[in-house]
Amino acid sequence: MFAPITALALCAALSTLPPARQQQALEAQVMAQPVPVSIYVMGGTLPRPVAAASGFADPDSGRKLTTDTPLRIASNTKTFVAATVLRLHERGRLDLDAAIAPLLDPELVKLLRDDGYKPDVITVRQLLSHSAGLYDHGGDPRYIETVLKDPRHVWSRKELVKLSMHYADPLAAPGVEFRYSDTGYILLGDIIERVTGQSVSAAVRELLRFDALGLTSTWWEVFEQPPPGVAPRARQFIDDVDATDVHASFDLYGGGGLVMSSRDLARFMAALFEGRVFEHEETLHTMLKQGAHKDAQNYRLGMLVKQIDGREIYFHSGFWGTVVYYDPATKLTVAAMTTRRKAYRTNVVPLVETVLGLTAPGSGCIEP
C-alpha cells in the first residue's frame, strides 16, 4: 500500500496562497508523492492555471509524466456520455423520461427482457442516474480476472451486456435505488448512436465541442486515432500488473473509452460548469438535480457528489486512478491522475482535497 501524503501539506486551499507561491506549493505536494501523479488546477481566483507532475509515464523508457500526457480515464467518460445525452435532450431529440426499449438495439432489448429486466419501464434518466437496477458487470471481480486472462480479446457491446446478465439478475426495480452500473452506460452509448446515426465517439466529440474547448490531447480509443503530435499514452497498472496493452474494448462503449490528459479533463469540467458546453443553463440544473430514489444524494446524471459542510462538491473518478473535482463555492476545478490505480484513495484523493482546502491542515503545512 502506498503511503498517503504526509509532508508539505497546504494549510488552506491553494487559491489562498499568494500567486507567486502557488506553483511552488503545488510542485512540493506532487514531488512528495511516492507514485507518478499529474494535477491541473484552474479557475476561481487563480490568476492562471497551476499544474505539476512527477514520476514516469513509461518507467522502461524513462519518459516523464506531464500534465499533457494522456491516460485512459475509464469512468470519467460517464460525465461526457451524460452531457452528450443532455445535449440531445436540450435539442429536443431525446426525452430523458422515455422508456429505453424503443431506443435500443433490439438484440440488447432481448437480452434485458430474457434476464428479467423491464426495458419498457426503465428510462433514459434512470440509466444516467444508475437507478435502473442494472447489475454492474465492470465491478464484478470475475470480470477483471477474465479480462487479464485474455488481454487481447476484442469485446463487443452486446458481449459486455450479456456478461452482466450472466453474472446477476436485476438488483432492484427501476427508479428505486442507486446501483452503480457500467452496463447502464454501455446502453446509453448505444442510444446515442441510434439517435444521432453516428458512432458514440463522433457524437460526443461534436455535441460537446471538443475542438472549440481546446481538448488537444483527447480521443476515444479504437473509434478514433490519437490527435497529431500528442504524447503516447502513459503506462497504467492494476496493482503491479502492467495493463497498458489490455484491449480498449473491455471498457469502451460509454462506461469508459476516452483517453485524455489532466489538463484536458480539467478544461472540460470547468467548461461544463461555466456554461460553455450546454446551450441552456437549465440543462446543467437538470444534470445536477437530485433524484427521488434511494441514495440519490451521492450521484446525479453522470456526476458524483460529495457533501462537505452543508455544500456540494461535484466530481467523477475512473478505474485507473483518475479524478476531477469542481467546487461551486470557489469555482475551482482540479483534475488529477496517477498511473498506479491502487494509489487513488491513498494519494490522489487526499492530494486533490488538500489543494481544494477540503481537508484539515496537517503538520508542516505551507502558510498562506
- The alpha carbon of residue 289 and the mean position of all alpha carbons in its chain are separated, in whole angstroms, by 19
Tell me: pLDDT of 367 over 90. no
pLDDT band (50, 70, 90) for residue 242: very high
pLDDT in tens, 193-233: 999 999 999 999 999 999 999 999 999 999 999 999 999 99
* Contact assessment for residue 193 and residue 199, using Cβ atoms and an 8 Å cutoff: yes
Mean pLDDT value of segment 256-278: 98
pLDDT in tens, 79-113: 999 999 999 999 999 999 999 999 999 999 999 99
Write down how long the chain is: 368
How high is the pLDDT of residue 363?
41
Counted domains in the chain:
1
Please give the Cα distance from 44 to 178 (Å, whole number). 32
Please give the Cα distance from 44 to 42 (Å, whole number). 7
Tell me: pLDDT of 10 over 90. no
End-to-end alpha carbon distance in the chain = 32
In a domain, 367, yes or no: no
In a domain, 292, yes or no: yes
Relative to beta strand 258-260, strand 219-220 is antiparallel
How high is the pLDDT of residue 13?
81
Tell me: pLDDT of 4 over 60. no
pLDDT in tens, 281-321: 999 999 999 999 999 999 999 999 999 888 999 999 999 99
What CATH number did the domain enclosing 342 receive? 3.40.710.10
pLDDT band (50, 70, 90) for residue 368: very low
Q: CA 245 → CA 30, 136, 221, 342, distances in Å?
A: 27, 23, 12, 18
pLDDT band (50, 70, 90) for residue 8: very low
Tell me: pLDDT of 172 over 50. yes
In a domain, 3, yes or no: no
For 284-295, letters b (16+ CB in 10 Å) and e give: bebbbeebebee
Tell me: pLDDT of 114 over 80. yes
In a domain, 38, yes or no: no
- Which one-letter amino acid corresponds to residue 100? I
In a domain, 211, yes or no: yes
How high is the pLDDT of residue 1?
54
Interacting residues of 198 by C-beta distance below 8 A, sequence separation 6+: 192, 206
How high is the pLDDT of residue 310?
87
* Contact assessment for residue 170 and residue 184, using Cβ atoms and an 8 Å cutoff: no
In a domain, 55, yes or no: no
How high is the pLDDT of residue 9?
53
Tell me: pLDDT of 118 over 90. yes
Q: Which domain holds residue 280?
A: 71-356
Beta bridge partners of 323: 317, 336
Tell me: pLDDT of 322 over 90. yes
How high is the pLDDT of residue 170?
97
In a domain, 259, yes or no: yes
- Closest alpha carbon to 336 in 261, 238, 239: 261
In a domain, 317, yes or no: yes
Tell me: pLDDT of 7 over 70. no
